[in-house]
Amino acid sequence: MAPVHLQTSLLDRITLVVTAFGVKPGYMLISLVLIILLGRRYARLGPELKLLFVSLVAFELGEIFCAVNYAFAGGRSDALEFGHQAGMIGFGALLPWALFDLLDRRVLRYSDPDATCAAQRFCKRCWKREEVACGLQRLMLLAAPALAMVALMPLASGLPTYDLVLPVFGADVIYKTSPVEQWALLRLYPVAAAGLLLVTFGLLLRGRRGIGPARLTFFFGLGFTAFSLLRFFLESAYLAMPIWADAWEELTEMITVLSIVLLL
């Protein structure tokens, strides 16, 4: 099928240029600086900051795959795009995990067997001292299957593909998706996310023994869910002008990286 040529407004063209040559290189540079700074101190970092470091590495590698794809393959390489997606899913899993561990260590004190958990005033009785069920664990027994249902939302959609040519200040910019890419995004990732979250539910049913392994399945389920839903909503909203889907994705990533800088 021949590519479709679309007309772009001045705002569309400016948005694409600013996103491609300002926002994306900007957050990639900031992320690289953070990786270098944390890498120099890696041996002295706590486990939560080591997780944060690995999440940034996954993010940077994913963005490098994305940049190479557009710079040298015109955005048409499925292999490079899957490299980009793997980095984003890893980032989406490891960053919340690192932030939860950081919050847990500094505020919640949930994992510390000798500390009083911040939720103690709500639970009254604590599994650390008595043979009772953990309130946070019971909450997660509801949250995990609920998130699994949300993760499956893209399954009810079609598999839209497009091959568009957009003129931008005298150059033709190509936006193209492949059936393989869309099948992974809207079928494989939602099923993987739901599966991991249901495994989390099963692990939590084991009581205290399941809490540790459940972190791995929960946060990677969250990573698949977040990436799949973000792309699903953005592509559905801006199917007629994908410049804006890219722009909001890049701005979201810039905000995330700046938030990490502020946190550190």
Per-residue pLDDT of the chain (264 residues; tens, 9 = 90+): 577 778 888 999 999 999 999 999 999 999 999 999 999 999 999 899 999 999 999 999 999 999 998 888 777 888 999 999 999 999 999 999 999 888 888 877 777 667 777 767 777 767 666 666 676 778 888 899 999 999 999 999 888 887 778 888 878 888 888 889 999 999 999 999 999 999 999 998 887 777 778 889 999 999 999 999 999 999 889 988 889 999 999 999 999 999 999 998
Tell me if 151 sits within 8 A of 224, measured CB to CB.
Answer: yes
Which residues touch 240 (CB under 8 Å, ≥6 apart)? 6
What is residue 113's predicted lDDT score, i.e. its pLDDT? 67
Tell me if 72 sits within 8 A of 79, measured CB to CB.
Answer: no
Q: In whole angstroms, what is the distance from residue 2 CA to residue 161 CA?
A: 13
* pTM recorded for the entire structure: 0.89
What is residue 262's predicted lDDT score, i.e. its pLDDT? 95
What is residue 140's predicted lDDT score, i.e. its pLDDT? 85
- Residue 95 CA: distances (Å) to CA of 72, 106, 257: 29, 16, 11
Type of residue at 250: E
Q: In whole angstroms, what is the distance from residue 81 CA to residue 227 CA?
A: 13
For strands 171-176 and 4-5, give the pairing: unpaired
What is residue 88's predicted lDDT score, i.e. its pLDDT? 97
Q: In whole angstroms, what is the distance from residue 35 CA to residue 29 CA?
A: 10
What is residue 178's predicted lDDT score, i.e. its pLDDT? 86
Q: In whole angstroms, what is the distance from residue 67 CA to residue 166 CA?
A: 19
Which two structure tokens, joined as six digits, stand for 142?
């509801």
What is residue 17's predicted lDDT score, i.e. its pLDDT? 93
Q: In whole angstroms, what is the distance from residue 18 CA to residue 231 CA?
A: 20
